[in-house]
Every structure is written in C-alpha cells, then in structure tokens.
Amino acid sequence: MLKLWGRVNSSNVKKVRWTCAELDIPYERVDAGLHFGVVNSDEYRAMNPNGMIPVIDDDGFVLWESNAIVRYLCAKNPKAPFWPADLRTRASADRWMEWQSTTIGPQIGPPFMQLIRQPEHEWDLAMIKRNITRAGDLWQIVDRQLGQTRWLAGEDFTMGDVPLGILAYTWMELPLAKVGLAHCRPKLANVWRWYDQLQAMKNYRDIVAIGLT
C-alpha cells in the first residue's frame, strides 16, 4: 500500500490526499512536520534531504515534491478527465499547477504564516500588504481564465485545479480585515463561481476546507 508522510493541515499534503481520493488510491498516512517532528530524523532525511512534506513510498519508490507526486499518481492510475487524455489539456493543467507553485503561492504563503501561525506583534505589516496586494492582482489572471473555461484547464475538473483550489481556500479564509486589506479580496465573479464548484465537492470539503491552522 502507498505510504504518505505529512500532516493533514499541510497544503502540499492536501494535494496528495485529494488526488488519492479522486483516483480511489488507498494509502497509509504518517503524521510528520511541525509539532509532529519526524522530518529531521536521519530516516526521514534519507528519503527527503530537504526535510519537507509530503513524501510517498510506493512499493519502495520514494518520491517528494507534491506536484511531482500528483503527476506520478495520475500517470500510474490514469483516470480521465482528472488526468487529461488530451496532451494539450494535460499541459494546460500542468501549467496551472506550476503557476500556483511559482507565482501566486509565494505571495500568499508568507502572509499566511504570519496571520495564522505567528503572534500579532511579530507581523511584518509592510510585507503582508505588499504580498496580499500582489496576490489580489494575480487572482485577476485566474478570473480571466475562468471567464473562458468552466475549470482551469477546460470544461472538466482536472489535476490542474488541485493546487490552486487548495490555495483558494487559504485566500478566502485569511483574516485580511484584521490588517485593513479586505479590499484586496474582491468577489471576482468567475473565481467565486469556480470556488463554489469546489465547495460542492465532498473530497474538497473533507480534505481541503478544514480550517486554517
């Protein structure tokens, strides 16, 4: 059976758990990261020298990096349309996975760490304002895409919706009013329509929308 290391409230672990749910892949999960520890042990570092989560062991094949894990699981257990059969649709899905990791994720991650996990007196308000303002602009790109397609890669829900769908929950739940930045999260019609579609999915509610911690 597939083995997964990582805590349930990690966004990157959610990617793998959500993918397993969509593909009906059974797995055993081991709590790791933050107060669970594990990631600094010699045994764990032998699997992932970065000391990060998630990590999977699939019958002796060890893999880290959440998007790589998602693609691996999809390729091993191909299920259309989640793993698009059409190469161009799959590339489009892949594009949005990378965009989440390289472009919008780095803008939302640091404010999340401060607003949710650090005491208020440690908040860097200038950084939070800068990053949240930039993230608000980037969601406009998503809104324009979703004005053309029902889901990010086309008319079907695919792996491409997973990373950004998880980040959307974080974005919607961040307490921006506390720092006077609620205006940076306007109700973009297409993004909210897509977000409502996600919220209607049982796997999303059970795995992703579990509170920010």
Q: What is the pTM of this model?
A: 0.96
The CATH fold assigned to 87-207 is Glutathione S-transferase Yfyf (Class Pi); Chain A, domain 2 (1.20.1050)
User: Who's near 105: CB < 8 A, 6+ residues apart?
Assistant: 163, 167
In the chain, where does DSSP find H-type helix? 11-23, 42-47, 66-76, 87-99, 105-117, 125-146, 161-173, 189-199, 202-207
| Confidence label for 83 from pLDDT (cuts 50, 70 and 90) | very high
* Segment 45-48 long-range contacts (CB within 8 Å, at least 24 positions apart): 47/5
CATH superfamily of 2-76: Glutaredoxin (3.40.30.10)
Instruction: Please state the rounded mean pLDDT for residues 66-91.
Output: 98
Provide the residue ranges of all domains of the chain, joining segments of one domain with +.
2-76, 87-207
Pairing of strands 55-58, 27-30: unpaired
Query: Are 33 and 6 contacting, i.e. CB atoms less than 8 angstroms apart?
Result: yes
Rounded mean pLDDT of 57-70?
98
β-sheet bridge partners, residue 63? 56
Looking at residues 33-37, what average pLDDT do you find? 93
Closest CA to 207 of 157, 174, 173, 162: 162
Q: In the prediction, which pLDDT does 206 show?
A: 98
Locate 4 and state its tokens. Answer: 């997964």
CB 139 within 8 A of CB 188: yes
- Positive or negative, the Cα torsion across 37, 40, 44, 48? positive
pLDDT at 15: 98
Mean pLDDT value across the chain: 97
Is 14 within 8 Å of 166 (Cβ atoms)? Answer: yes
User: What share of the chain in percent tops pLDDT 70?
Assistant: 100
For residues 148-152, give the mean pLDDT: 98
pLDDT-derived band at 60 (thresholds 50, 70, 90) equals very high
- Band (pLDDT 50/70/90 cuts) for residue 120 is very high
